[in-house]
Chains A and B, each alone.
Chain A
Amino acid sequence: MARPSRRAARLLGAGAAAACFTASAAVVWHASYSAFSATTANPSSNWATGSVALADDDANTAMFSASNLKPGSTGSRCIAVTSTGSLPSAVKLYGTGSATTNALSSWINLTITQGTGGSFGSCTGFTPQASGASVFTGSLASFASTATGYSTGLGNWTPTGSGSDTRVFQVSYTLDPTAPNSTQGGTASVGFTWEAQNT
């Protein structure tokens, strides 16, 4: 087989480089166009690089719908939150949609404890963590005004992303025994939101 001529060699070498250099521009243009053309892509369920996933066992039922509370009234519920994401993440608890009348939320004492065991249906078997069990202690108003989003959220739960990780939170309330008559007829509401973001 004949050897390539110098001219052919030069043409081929330079041509390949030039063509591919041009191709790189095309790649960038195409990649940019498909990513930034102002259409919102549908969520992809193809997790090539992992994701975070978080769910609870409340079946969209509120933990508390307590009425006719009087000073000293108390209640407690548990909720199991499970992380099944494949990325390491940090889970924070914060309040959403809080509202109150007659300043009732300032007189509802809230205690949130983390541990294992128990479920939304029953706290039977709930065991607080040996250390660092307390997530929050204070009034409902304080919870709703301090833990307002992920950055101000509570808790130190950091699922590793290797398999399913469940944590049970026990939420207890007491209408303060010294609640004044001015809180009569008052209402309070809040949503408890756990959010996982990858770290």
Chain B
Amino acid sequence: MIRANDLVSLSELFGINEPAGRPDHEPVADPPGRRAESPVRRSAWRAGWSALLIGSAARGMLALLAGLLLASLVPALAGWHPSVVMTGSMQPSLRPGDVVIARPAQPRQLRPGQVLLVTDPDQPGRLRLHRLVRFTDDGSLILRGDANPAEDSSPVPPAGMHGVAVLRVPGVGLPMLWARQDRYLPLGMAAMLLGTLLGLAGAYRPAESQPPRPKPPAQARSPQAQPANGGRSVRRRLSPAVCLLTGLAVLQLAHPTPAEALFAITAGNAGDNWAAAQYYSCRQAVLASSPVLYYQLDETNGRTVTDSSSAGATGTYTQNGVTRGQPGTCNFDGGTAVTLNGTSGYLYRNSQSTAPSTFSWELWFATSTVKGGWLIGMGSSQTGQSSTTDRQLYLTNSGQVGFGISSGGTKRTVLSPASYNDGGWHLADATFSAGTGMRLYLDGQLVASNSAVTSAQSYSGYLRVGYDNLTGWSSAPTSFFLAGSIDEVSAYATVLTATQIGYHYGAGS
């Protein structure tokens, strides 16, 4: 309810006459001192041009406000949805405090660019007022606040769409915004401004309507009987004021729901990715490449070197200089490695074979030696220094890895640019065929190759690991014996691809 008393007091403040028909108290005579000074002069001012202009201006402002209120309220009668913009992410199109009226619409009637009132997909129980950007494939709506740098992250299902904004009434919802934000200073100032306008609206008073004074109590009790007195004019002014305040109250308290023109911004870290090794187990990786010899070197005693391939190519450790059960590099397999002492330890395949024309060798090694040594290759003798050796991987004194092939009576070598005698585990691979030539891989990467070498000398011999004759080979090392650890020795009758070698390396590293 409108508290008419307050309005009347307001009228008094502006020197309007005592109203008639006050319901709650008996009219009493004014205190003698209160209105003693010069009622005539005041009346004269109020009947003048300045009072008329001020009054008219105030009425105009009130009419403007009333018009805006009507625009905010009337569409609701047609089922349209008024809401007050609470935040500013639709700036400059919509500002906080604007009342926006949304007309119900079907999702298929929508087109990008329209401002929609939707159920907030992120914060339950709230409404969001943003502009339609596009539709997703499943018909959901992607919105964006004009002032937001990016589209809203959550799509809005069509069922959450309440309507298309069609009317904007600037600023009318500000009191509601202030009230919700507990900003009482602007709220109070707005109320005072409204009161001032209401008072000023009645500033002008034609001279002949000045009421007689003092007022007879009987007249005050029956205002209807007074043809043109102050009571009626107060009432006349009161009715628009009551309408206005009722409208404001209805608007602020009852109808429009707050709608967020929501500010949103994201920061983040995109493209994080993880890739599992192709093989967790060295054994799985090697066996998948179909080796013709596979020494896992997991023996803890004895001289027999077990072949884990299906070829049964068993080998033998030398009597001395080999330490079994050393930590290896294939942790997932749980096996061990062997360490060679660099002066007497090595191992060899038991049976003789023809030196292959297409092959791949592979082994893991870890060494800090500066005297080099034989890693793996073919020798004409099973033990001791062979008279003929080739197809071998070896370490130079500087720790580089060489791959040698004896071709047409010439010792051909490719050498790794980098050194690998750093104590850590490394995977060395050599592949050869007439079609692909010599290729040397370290740690899964091709580091040296020579495709011009298309043949290798023919002879029969033994696969030797850790020691054989390197005389005459490029950068031949001081020691033919390797001082270091080796693990997972394998041989293939095929040229391993870079992918396969990468898988082997991934499993053991």
Contact = CB atoms under 8 A, between A and B. Distances in A.
Interface of A: 1, 3-4, 6, 8-9, 12-13, 15-25, 27-28, 31-32, 34-36, 38-44, 46-56, 58, 62-71, 79, 81, 85, 87, 89, 96-97, 102, 104-105, 108, 140, 149-151, 173, 175, 179, 181, 183-199
A58 to B, nearest CB: 5
Contacts of B80: none
B122 A197 contact: yes
Q: On chain B, which size bracket covers the interface? A: 35 or more
A36 B165 CA distance: 7
Contact of A25 (B55, B71, B147, B262): B71
Given A12-B53, A150-B153, A181-B284, A62 B271 contact: yes
B272 A191 contact: yes
Contacts of B100: 35
B146 A44 contact: yes
Contacts of B96: 49
A44 B145 CA distance: 10
Interface string B37-80: 00000000001110011011101111111111011000000000
Contacts of B472: none
A4 to B, nearest CB: 5
Contacts of B170: 27-28, 31
B275 A67 contact: yes
Interface stretch (B22-30, B85-93, B300-308): B85-93
26 contacts: A3-B47, A9-B204, A12-B56, A17-B62, A28-B71, A31-B169, A36-B114, A39-B113, A51-B263, A52-B264, A54-B266, A63-B269, A66-B273, A70-B280, A87-B263, A173-B274, A175-B276, A185-B277, A185-B278, A185-B279, A189-B273, A193-B153, A193-B266, A193-B268, A193-B270, A195-B264
Nearest to A181: B280
- Determine the main DSSP class of A at the interface with B: mixed
Contact of A44 (B52, B67, B68, B92): B92
B423 interface: no
A18 B272 CA distance: 65
A62 B270 contact: yes
A14 B278 CA distance: 88
B423 to A, nearest CB: 21
Nearest to A2: B49
Contacts of B273: 62, 64-66, 187-189
A1 B52 contact: no
Interface in B298-347: 331-332
A32 B172 CA distance: 14
Contact of A40 (B52, B146, B204): B146
Given A68-B277, A149-B153, A192 B272 contact: yes
A58 B89 CA distance: 26
B267 interface: yes
B153 A89 contact: no
A24 B207 CA distance: 32
A36 B169 CA distance: 12
Interface string B234-269: 000000000000000000000000001011111111
Given A35-B168, A49-B96, A184-B279, A97 B206 contact: no
Contacts of A63: 269, 272
B94 interface: yes
A52 to B, nearest CB: 4
Contact of A13 (B49, B55, B332): B55
B123 interface: yes
B434 to A, nearest CB: 32
A157 to B, nearest CB: 12
Nearest to B112: A38
A68 B96 CA distance: 53
B131 interface: yes
A25 B67 contact: yes
A16 B123 CA distance: 46
B147 A43 contact: yes
Contacts of B87: 49, 87, 198
